[in-house]
């Protein structure tokens, strides 16, 4: 057991936890914004995947990492708007439309990579580069904290800034107020003159953009290439974090960070004498239990379920 | 059925009701067909835009699966699993529950079927049935967890089923790589099942080589009919439909909605468990890593395409697995990747979600029939 403790307290573990939590944080905030706007965004997975693929391809062909990042985020934003359009214009069920978009992303990215590069696996043949890391001049020298904080990717910093940003957006801006009102009760919101559709379109676009940043981090931060289906269910985990966090910015922040830490732990424990597959079930089992507890507590309190959360 | 003779009005009502039902069925079927054609057209454009030859690709894709008898077998084998998985999600969907749990259920079913079929000595016939029953029970158990969480606590079923999938797939992976791995074998798989537990191959009956297609296909057809009868002809089916149509009204009408929701998950889980039994007893004859591939998720597409009508699910399942089989052949014989099939599938889902379309059509037909302009 002491070896587990050693692992958890090491600066390498803490640094890895922050890195692994990055895509969960960004995608979870994306899910949160959409959920609060009253449209469940189950397409987070597909948005991340499309952004990762577009980012790597554009960066590879243009030679500009910045251009790749912008195109990746733009692609995911577009998918967010598309989801909103399917829901609002065609009366589609947001969940099912989301499943469709995930499929489209999975097939579309694989087809695009195969058509362009003649490679089934991914874009590793293409030199696409990666986003810069941030070194903190003063902090770098500090023993543990320096190792943990300095040298993280710039998107990791963005992910951590996203929490106060979303909290500010929700509770300190007019748009946030409108967004929450629309998600809670669209008819009431419309009756006081809020442009419900416009708020929902904007919310879903923002949701897609956040998921897009998460995706770009996967193909241009984690590693510097795109691999087929590289999101590997992260979008769904992020969605779990949205509900686990009780649809509140800081709750979602803690839940997503917890998933990152749990996964980092599973990776580290893989070196010990424990079956890695079983260790890696821990975060999911924790979520399942937490989901049940959360629902039970909510039910016992008898508090009304937010309209968006009941799906 | 009825003991007292029906009045003329009742007879007329019944006739009209049946006519409406037939019309709805026809509309469902033609909508499915139109959806598929539109999706194929979009796939055509995508191939054209990416510099491939769509005519040649579609030719290979659409004629390939029928060219040799073993390819037909490959198709039927795939259709069996896919249709069972489509049926498994169609039932909770009918109660308006978005269950994404087919993956956990099919793997649990495969584990249960394999454990019984490998380790428990049984006499013939029984040796086929008991593992299947075990698989159905295991699948039902995996359905009960998210079902009860949703029905009793109001926990989000999408998150619950997704988490359960993640857990079960990893446990399956661990068992196949660990305790259940055949010792002395370099490749990862379990011991083979006992001969008596294997589902009879269709080749034995038809005298042509049909690959691994087996009587599981018949089991699938029977399951579809049974589920159709359940949904349309039984009190539970009525409650499921009512719950799906309007849960508040169903509760007001005295239906115990939570219990109905639980049942819909349990029944769906049992059917997905059967799909696992088919993979173990009919297709692979043992446990292999990633046994079900992406089929669990694709079952959702089939159910949606069939608008959750069990009999239409069979048609959609046959059609969709035909596309899959054709896609594989297309990839071997042309430069077009099989991913285009996933793109076509995605377009199908997106078109199917456009709920506004078919109900508009149905209403228009109904209006014309009663002579309202």
What is the ipTM metric for this complex?
0.79
Question: Residues B251-277: what's their mean pLDDT?
Answer: 91
Task: For chain B, give percent helix, strand, coil, nearest 5.
Answer: 75, 0, 25
Q: How far apart are the first and last CA of chain A?
A: 42
* DSSP helix/strand/coil, A131: coil
**What is residue A133's DSSP assignment?**
E
Distance from CA of A106 to the nearest CA of B (A): 8
Closest to A246 in 3D by CA, of A286, A193, A291: A291
- Which helix (H) or strand (E) covers residue B169, if one does? helix B157-177
Report how far residue A287's alpha carbon sits from residue B125's, in angstroms, rounded to the nearest whole number.
42
Residue of A103, A245, A262, A289 to mutate, testing the B interface (most B Cβ within 10 Å of its Cβ): A103
Residue the block writes with tokens 């597409």: B301
Query: What is the least distance, in Å, from the CA of B147 to any CA of chain A?
Result: 12
Q: Best interface-test mutation with B: which of A43, A49, A93, A96 has the largest number of B CBs within 10 A? A: A96
Query: Measured between beta carbons, which residues in chain B are less than 8 angstroms from residue A292?
Result: 149, 153, 155
Structure tokens given for B27: 């509309």
Average of per-residue pLDDT across B224-245: 90
Place of tokens 């297709």: B283
Is B155:A291 a contact under the CB 8 Å cutoff?
yes
The Cα A40–Cα A236 span in angstroms is 12
What number of C-beta contacts closer than 8 Å exist between A and B?
148
A61 touches chain B (CB under 8 A): no
Half-sphere exposure of B341 (CA within 13 A, CB side): 22
Q: Using a CB-CB distance cutoff of 8 angstroms, which residues of chain A are in contact with residue B247?
A: none
Is residue A110 less than 8 Å (CB to CB) from chain B?
Answer: yes
pLDDT tens digit at each of 311 positions of chain A: 556 666 666 777 888 888 889 999 999 999 999 999 999 898 999 999 999 999 999 988 888 888 999 999 999 999 999 999 988 888 888 888 898 899 899 999 988 888 888 877 777 777 777 777 766 666 666 666 666 666 677 888 888 888 999 999 989 999 989 889 888 888 888 888 888 889 999 999 999 999 999 999 999 887 888 888 888 888 888 988 888 888 899 999 998 998 888 888 877 776 666 777 787 788 788 888 888 887 888 777 765 444 334 43
Could you tell me which chain A residue has the CA closest to the CA of B335? A115
> Would an 8 Å CB–CB cutoff place A193 in contact with chain B?
no
Query: For residues A290 and B158, is the Cβ–Cβ distance under 8 A?
Result: no
Q: Give A151 to chain B, closest Cα distance, Å.
A: 32
**A86 contacts B354? CB cut-off 8 A:** yes
Q: Is residue B166 pLDDT above 70, yes or no? A: yes
Put simply, the answer to whether A91 touches B356 (Cβ < 8 Å) is yes
Residues of A in contact with B156 (CB under 8 A): 243, 291, 295, 309, 311
Is A279 exposed, middle or buried, given 0-12, 13-18 or 19+ CB atoms closer than 10 A?
Answer: buried
Best of B35, B53, B163 to substitute, by most chain A Cβ atoms within 10 angstroms, is: B163
Please report the pLDDT score of residue B83 as a whole number.
95
Partner-chain residue, chosen from B159, B337, B342, that has the shortest CB–CB distance to A239 = B159
Rounded to the nearest angstrom, the gap between the alpha carbon of residue A69 and the centroid of all alpha carbons in its chain is 15
- The Cβ-side half-sphere exposure at B360, using a 13 Å CA radius, reads 6
CA distance A16 to B336: 40
Paired residues of A153 in beta bridges: A133
SS3 A134: strand
Kindly write down the DSSP assignment for every residue of B235-284, as one continuous string: HHHHHHHHHHH-HHHHHHTT--HHHHHHHHHHHHHHHHHHHHHIIIIIII
How far does B172 lie from chain A, in Å, by closest CA?
9
Q: Report the 10 Å Cβ neighbour count for B179.
A: 9
Residue for token pair 């007329």: B12
Own/partner contacts of A191-199, CB < 8 Å, gap of 24 or more, are: A197/A88, A199/A37, A199/A175
List chain B residues with CB under 8 Å of A120: 337
């Amino acid at each position: 057991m002491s070896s587990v403790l050693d692992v958890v307290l090491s600066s390498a573990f803490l640094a890895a936890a922050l890195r692994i939590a990055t895509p969960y944080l960004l995608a979870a905030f994306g899910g949160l914004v959409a959920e609060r706007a009253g449209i469940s965004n189950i397409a987070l997975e597909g948005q991340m995947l499309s952004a990762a693929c577009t980012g790597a391809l554009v960066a590879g062909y243009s030679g500009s990492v910045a251009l790749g990042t912008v195109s990746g985020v733009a692609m995911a934003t577009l998918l967010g708007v598309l989801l909103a359009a399917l829901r609002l214009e065609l009366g589609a069920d947001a969940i099912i439309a989301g499943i469709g978009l995930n499929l489209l992303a999975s097939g579309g990215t694989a087809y695009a990579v195969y058509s362009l590069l003649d490679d089934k696996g991914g874009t590793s043949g293409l030199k696409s580069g990666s986003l810069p890391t941030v070194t903190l001049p003063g902090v770098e020298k500090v023993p543990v904290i320096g190792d943990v904080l300095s040298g993280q990717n710039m998107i990791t910093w963005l992910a951590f800034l996203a929490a106060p940003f979303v909290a500010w957006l929700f509770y300190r801006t007019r748009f946030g107020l409108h967004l929450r009102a629309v998600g809670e009760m669209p008819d009431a919101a419309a009756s006081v003159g809020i442009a419900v559709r416009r708020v929902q379109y904007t919310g879903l676009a923002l949701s897609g953009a956040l998921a897009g940043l998460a995706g770009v981090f996967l193909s241009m931060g984690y590693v510097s290439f795109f691999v087929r289906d590289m999101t590997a269910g992260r979008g769904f985990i992020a969605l779990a974090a949205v509900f686990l966090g009780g649809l509140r910015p800081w709750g979602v922040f803690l839940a997503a960070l917890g998933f990152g830490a749990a996964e980092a732990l599973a990776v580290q424990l893989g070196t010990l004498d424990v079956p890695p597959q079983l260790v890696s079930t821990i975060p999911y089992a924790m979520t399942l239990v937490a989901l049940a507890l959360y629902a039970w507590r909510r039910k016992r309190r008898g508090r009304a379920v937010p309209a968006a959360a009941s799906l | 059925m009825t003991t007292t003779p029906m009045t003329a009005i009742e007879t007329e009502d019944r006739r009209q009701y049946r006519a409406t039902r037939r019309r709805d069925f026809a509309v469902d079927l033609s909508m499915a067909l139109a959806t598929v054609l539109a999706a194929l057209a979009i796939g055509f454009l995508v191939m054209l835009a990416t510099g491939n030859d769509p005519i040649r690709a579609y030719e290979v894709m659409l004629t390939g699966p029928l060219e040799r008898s073993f390819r037909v077998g490959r198709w039927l084998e795939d259709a069996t699993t896919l249709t069972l998985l489509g049926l498994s999600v169609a039932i909770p969907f009918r109660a308006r529950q978005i269950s994404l749990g087919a993956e956990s259920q099919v793997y649990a079913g495969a584990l249960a079927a394999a454990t019984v079929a490998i380790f428990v000595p049984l006499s013939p016939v029984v040796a086929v049935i008991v593992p299947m029953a075990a698989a159905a029970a295991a699948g039902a158990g995996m359905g009960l967890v998210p079902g009860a969480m949703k029905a009793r606590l109001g926990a989000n079923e999408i998150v619950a089923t997704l988490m359960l999938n993640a857990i079960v797939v990893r446990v399956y992976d661990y068992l196949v790589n660990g305790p259940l791995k055949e010792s002395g074998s370099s490749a990862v798989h379990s011991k083979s099942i006992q001969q008596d537990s294997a589902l009879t191959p269709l080749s034995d009956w038809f005298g042509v080589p049909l690959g691994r297609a087996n009587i599981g296909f018949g089991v699938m057809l029977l399951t579809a009919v049974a589920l159709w009868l359940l949904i349309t002809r039984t009190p539970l089916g009525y409650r499921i439909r009512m719950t799906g149509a309007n849960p508040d009204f169903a509760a007001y009408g005295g239906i115990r909605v939570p219990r109905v929701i639980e049942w819909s998950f349990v029944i769906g889980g049992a059917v997905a468990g059967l799909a696992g039994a088919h993979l173990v007893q009919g297709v692979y004859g043992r446990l292999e890593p990633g046994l079900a591939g992406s089929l669990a998720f694709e079952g959702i597409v089939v159910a949606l395409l069939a608008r959750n009508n069990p009999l239409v699910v069979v048609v959609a399942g046959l059609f969709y697995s035909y596309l899959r089989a054709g896609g594989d052949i297309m990839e071997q014989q042309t430069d077009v990747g099989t991913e285009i099939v996933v793109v076509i599938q995605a377009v199908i889902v997106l078109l199917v979600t456009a709920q506004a379309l078919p109900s508009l059509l149905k209403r228009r037909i109904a209006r014309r029939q009663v002579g309202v302009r």
